[in-house]
Amino acid sequence: ADVALVRELTGRDDPVPVVTEPFTEWVLEGEFPGGRPRWEDAGATFTDDIEPFETRKLYLLNGAHSLLAYAGPARGHETVAEAVRDPEIRAWVEAWWDEATSHLTLPAEDLAEYRAALLERFENPQIRHLLTQIEIDGSKKLRERINPTLRAELEAGRTGEAAIRVLAAWLVHLRSGAEIEDVAADRLAAAAEGDLEEAAARVLAVLEPGLDESAHAAVAAHLADTARELSGRIEA
* Residue 109 predicted with pLDDT over 90: yes
Task: Please tell me the predicted confidence (pLDDT) of residue 2.
Answer: 84
Q: How confident is the model at residue 208 (pLDDT cuts 50, 70, 90)?
A: very high
Alpha-carbon distance values, 46 to 29, 42, 51, 52, 104 (Å): 6, 12, 12, 13, 18
| Percent of the chain's residues with pLDDT above 90 | 82
* Residue 235 predicted with pLDDT over 80: no
Q: How confident is the model at residue 234 (pLDDT cuts 50, 70, 90)?
A: low
Distance CA 21, CA 124 (A): 8
Summary mean pLDDT of the chain: 93
| Percent of the chain's residues with pLDDT above 70 | 98
Task: Please tell me the predicted confidence (pLDDT) of residue 225.
Answer: 97
Burial class (CB within 10 angstroms; exposed 0-12, middle 13-18, buried 19+) of 25: exposed
For range 73-79, the mean pLDDT: 92
For range 95-117, the mean pLDDT: 97
Query: Per-residue pLDDT tens for 218-227?
Result: 999 999 999 9
Distance CA 61, CA 23 (A): 13
Distance CA 182, CA 209 (A): 17
Query: Per-residue pLDDT tens for 115-168?
Result: 999 999 999 988 889 999 999 999 999 999 999 999 999 999 999 999 999 999
* Residue 236 predicted with pLDDT over 70: no
Instruction: Identify the structural domains of the chain with CATH numbers, from first to last.
Output: 1-45 (no CATH), 49-235 (1.10.1040.10)
DSSP character string of the chain:
-HHHHHHHHHS---SSPPP--S----EE----TT----GGGGT-EE-S--HHHHHHIIIIIIHHHHHHHHHTGGGT--BHHHHHTSHHHHHHHHHHHHHHHTT--S-HHHHHHHHHHHHHHHT-TTS--BHHHHSTTHHHHHHHHTHHHHHHHHHTT---HHHHHHHHHHHHHHTTT----STTHHHHHHHTSS-HHHHHHHHHHHH-TTS-HHHHHHHHHHHHHHHHHHHHHS--
* Residue 106 predicted with pLDDT over 60: yes
For range 212-219, the mean pLDDT: 95
* Residue 102 predicted with pLDDT over 70: yes
Task: Please tell me the predicted confidence (pLDDT) of residue 233.
Answer: 64
- Global pTM reads 0.89
